[in-house]
Amino acid sequence: MKKSVLLFGISVALLAAFAFKAVHPDVAKTSASTNDTVLYPDEQHFKNIQQLTFGGDNAEAYFSYDGKWLIFQKTYAKEGIPCDQMYIAKIPTKPGEKFVPKLVSTGKGRTTCGAFTKDGKHVIYASTHLGSGDCPPVPDRSKYGNKYIWPLYDSYDIFMADLNGKIVKQLTNSKGYDAEATLSPDGKKMLYTSTKDGDIDMYVMDLKTGKEKRITNLLGYDGGGWFSPDGKKIIWRASRPKTEEEIKEYKELLAQGLVAPTNMEVWVANADGSNAKQVSTFGQANWAPAYMPDSKRIIFASNHEYKRGFPFNLYTMNEDGTNLTKISRDKGFDAFPMFSPDGKKIVFCSNRNNGGTRDTNIFIADWVE
């Protein structure tokens, strides 16, 4: 979801990041003396960083199970991509090797939240193409006090396709919003978000049988969920309206197929949804969380340091919310962090090195503890 969708069609953070134009004077140089760089001096956990895309809005890049490919969503009007479509590309391993994206969605409607299957021969993603081949309309935020409003398109369903883009299976078909799907480490279960039961909740589906279980039940948005690398836990972002006014606004927006997820915190639970608990209490938008390779620590994106709503940077913390550590330093937008299956590399999306545009690109680096 851009992830923004959030991880949204577009993520709360992504939209916030696009609401301003960063001043980056020099797109060619990589040095501490310029604002335009692929690596900032204090980013000590990144080594051998590479920029993989150049232009457009590229987000939610995730590894294949063998760590050799990425799947991501892309919007780039200059290339005739008016709203997010799903692409895959092999990660360069040699000097001069190019990152060459290949379309795997239909090219119609809007897509979000892609993932490779365990066999490496298929992908899953959410798409609105059955509702219409056109890009779905974006809400008029002026009607809602210029708040970030994210549409829960009820035409979103989750599909499985082969690597040539042929849809082989429709995984969801409810009347509500079905999106934000990820897979368990063994590839057997799908974790996703749906409005099918009247709230924005997460479900776990057995891919072989289609049987599923709702695993969240508190009022508010629950989404962007991931399994831990050991498969024993899940982690996600959630908003929890608490006051009477907040609850009223939340329900009124939901009735219109909308949500305003500007205040989110990180939650964790056992893989079956039991023992759910809030981890972060930082305020503002704390989202795009994922367990680190040890299945104990957490990495996530947040704007909690900045009252104006940006920058968004990457942070790590312990599972109990302690030992908060700032990882990235861009003055615009760093988000969607994800580790490779072997834990040696990290991929994320950023406004850095975009030549003063609003482009968001994909970066990959070796992770240094």
In the chain, the domains with their CATH numbers are: 12-367 (2.120.10.30)
Average pLDDT on 215-219 reads 97
pLDDT (0 to 100) of residue 261: 82
- 279: pLDDT strictly greater than 50: yes
Cα dihedral value 260, 238, 216, 124, nearest 10? 80
Burial (CB count within 10 angstroms: exposed 0-12, middle 13-18, buried 19+), residue 144: middle
pLDDT (0 to 100) of residue 14: 38
CA atoms within 13 A on the CB side of 38: 20
* Coil/strand/helix, residue 234: strand
- Residue 262: band (very low, low, confident or very high) from pLDDT cuts 50, 70, 90: confident
Neighbours of 295 (CB within 10 A): 17
Pairing relationship of beta strands 233-238 and 222-227 according to DSSP bridges: antiparallel
Which pTM value belongs to this model? 0.91
Amino acid of residue 139: P
pLDDT (0 to 100) of residue 29: 31
- 368: pLDDT strictly greater than 60: yes
- For 133-142, letters b (16+ CB in 10 Å) and e give eebbeebeee
Contact call for residues 354 and 327 (beta carbons, < 8 A): no
pLDDT (0 to 100) of residue 2: 41
- Residue 147: band (very low, low, confident or very high) from pLDDT cuts 50, 70, 90: confident
Distance CA 94, CA 6 (A): 34
Q: Tell me what the pLDDT averaged over the chain comes to.
A: 91
Average pLDDT on 54-74 reads 98
Burial (CB count within 10 angstroms: exposed 0-12, middle 13-18, buried 19+), residue 198: exposed
Q: What percent of the chain has pLDDT over 70?
A: 91
pLDDT (0 to 100) of residue 30: 34
Distance CA 108, CA 83 (A): 9
Region of 33 please: left (phi>0), alpha (psi -120 to 50) or beta.
alpha
